Structure 1
Amino acid sequence: MYDVYIIESLQVGDWYKGFTEDYEKRFIQHNNGESTFTSTKRPCKLIFVQVFTSKQLALQQEKKLKHCNRKYLQWLIHQRINLLLDV
């Protein structure tokens, strides 16, 4: 399984979109400063996870999300595809 995720910097409000095979592990890495983009913007909050069965589809979705505006992303995080809504 492959995950596309969005995290929010609680310090500056930026949103980071990424792709991984283990979103929980990757989120911990972001909050530990192990990611260049988020290392100076911690703490972070995980706000969206979408699961894919193929790496290709997940990478396509990640690329798409990186070009979407914030209004669309705000809408997206409240949709049923967000794994975090079931938690």
Structure 2
Amino acid sequence: MYYVYILASGRHGTLYIGVTNSIQKRLQQHRDGEGSLFVKKYGVFRLVYVETYGVAEEAIIREKQLKRWKRDWKIELIERDNLEWRDLSDLIS
């Protein structure tokens, strides 16, 4: 399984989009300061959106697509399923 995810520093805060094959491991890396320097610098640790894919190439294509989106579109995507910008990491098993 592959995951495209969006992290936020807070509601309507700084956003980070990534792709991984292990969402739990990747989130822990980010929180331990071993992930992206951007995430570490801006404190972007709250998992606010995630999509799953069975094929790595599809996940990578989607990640690149989302990175090109306007910020408003990203916010609409997050708020469609997560209006309160809750940290969803506790729902990931």
TM-score range, shorter chain: 0.7 to 0.9
- Between structures 1 and 2, the one with greater helix share: 2
| Native 8 Å contact 2:49 2:78 kept in 1 | yes
Size of the aligned set, in residue pairs, is 80
What is residue 32 of structure 2 aligned with on the other side? Answer: 32
TM-score by length of 1: 0.80
Gaps of 5+ in 2: 82-87
Residue identity (%): 35
* CA RMSD between the two structures: 1.7
Any idea what SS the aligned residue of 2:39 has? Answer: coil
Gaps of 5+ in 1: none
TM-score by length of 2: 0.76
What is residue 16 of structure 2 aligned with on the other side? Answer: 16
Letter in 2 for 1:30: H
What is residue 84 of structure 2 aligned with on the other side? Answer: none
Offset, 1:42: 2.0
Runs of 4+ in structure 1 over 2 Å off:
none
